Amino acid sequence: MARWQGLSRRTKSGSRLKKHHEKRKAELGRPEAQTIIGEPRVKKIRTRGGNEKFRAYRLDYCNLSDPNTGKSEKVRILDVESNPSNKEYTRRKVMTKGALIRTEKGYAIITNRPGQEGFISAIPTQIDVDATQQRTISAKKKKRQTLQRKRVGSTSGTQKKTTTKKPELKPATKPKVEAPKKEAPAKKPATPKPKTEAAADEVPTVTVDKEIVVAYKGKNYKFDKKITIKDLKEKKAPKIVKDKVAEAREFKSWS
């Protein structure tokens, strides 16, 4: 089947484009080379405008160039470790641009297109291939385990096994022996406390100075307090203080 390399008939958003011309022979594509390791086999192809392409079908060497030192040398290819463009290419050991290969000097990555240029250029790399392979193997194992769990869950849902549970034998327990209760001693009747008369300090003592200012103290008061005659007239003092002041000043009432 022929390969067409013309423009797409739809835009990026998905709308359909009007066809302004039919397919042209210049838009015809060729099958890929799929270069593998083996005895070198390169074919020359004439392209548009009289130009030439060199299609490599088999190669067993590469031009390894070190960008740090600027030196390059011809090195034999031993194996293809991986090809990120296609898993099928990794299995079949197909070499394309970006593939990881193993050479006599170590691991390297292909930097050109062997199917278009007829040779392989590569640069050395210090990738840990063993670690990457272990990661892929562990990922495959996890995927396989999840699939097995799903299958087991689906089968257990359709086919339920009927199992009879055996009665569990409980060990014999010794009867609890209650200890004799001790009788509580009889409580003595509470003796009422004798009532004590109010102390003399609880009643506030009032003193009147020359400026007609009242000061009173008492056990139930937390601080000394001074009251003027004006406060007494405005009824801002306790009654007991008023009575004491009346006795001291010989007043009969505070109206």
Please tell me the distance from the alpha carbon of residue 206 to that of residue 218, in angstroms, as a whole number: 9
Q: State the average pLDDT over residues 41-53.
A: 93
Question: pLDDT tens for residues 163-177?
Answer: 566 666 666 676 676
Sheet holding 225-228, edge to edge: 205-208, 213-217, 225-228
Question: Pick from 129, 161, 182: which residue ends a domain?
Answer: 129
Say if pTM beats, i.e. exceeds, 0.75. Answer: no
Residue 156 within a domain = no
Question: Pick from 97, 129, 161: which residue ends a domain?
Answer: 129
Residue 117 within a domain = yes
Residue 155 within a domain = no
pLDDT at position 145 is 86
CATH number at residue 74: 3.10.290.70
Structure tokens at 123: 């640069």
- Verify that 125 and 218 share a domain, yes or no: no
Residue 183 within a domain = no
Percent of the chain as helix, strand, coil, to the nearest 5: 25, 25, 50
pLDDT at position 1 is 73
How many domains, in total, are found in the chain? 2
- For β-strands 213-217 and 225-228, DSSP reports them as antiparallel
- Verify that 31 and 124 share a domain, yes or no: yes
Residue 185 within a domain = no
Residue 11 within a domain = no
pLDDT at position 248 is 62
Question: Pick from 112, 129, 146: which residue ends a domain?
Answer: 129
Return the bridge partners of 46, or none: 52
Please tell me the distance from the alpha carbon of residue 99 to that of residue 90, in angstroms, as a whole number: 9
Ranges 28-32, 42-46, 148-152, 206-210: which has the least confidence: 206-210
Q: State the average pLDDT over residues 60-77.
A: 93
Residue 89 within a domain = yes
- In the predicted model, is pLDDT for residue 203 greater than 60? no
Print the domain residue range for 95: 27-129
- Verify that 32 and 121 share a domain, yes or no: yes
Structure tokens at 252: 């009969």
Return the bridge partners of 36, or none: 58
- For β-strands 72-82 and 100-103, DSSP reports them as antiparallel
| DSSP at 66 | -
- How many degrees, rounded to 5, is the angle at CA 24 between CA 18 and CA 28? 115
C-alpha distance across the termini of the chain, in Å: 127
- Mean pLDDT value across the chain: 78
Residue 21 within a domain = no
Phi first, then psi, for residue 244 (nearest 5°) are: -65, -40
| Residue 205 near residue 224, CB atoms below 8 Å | no
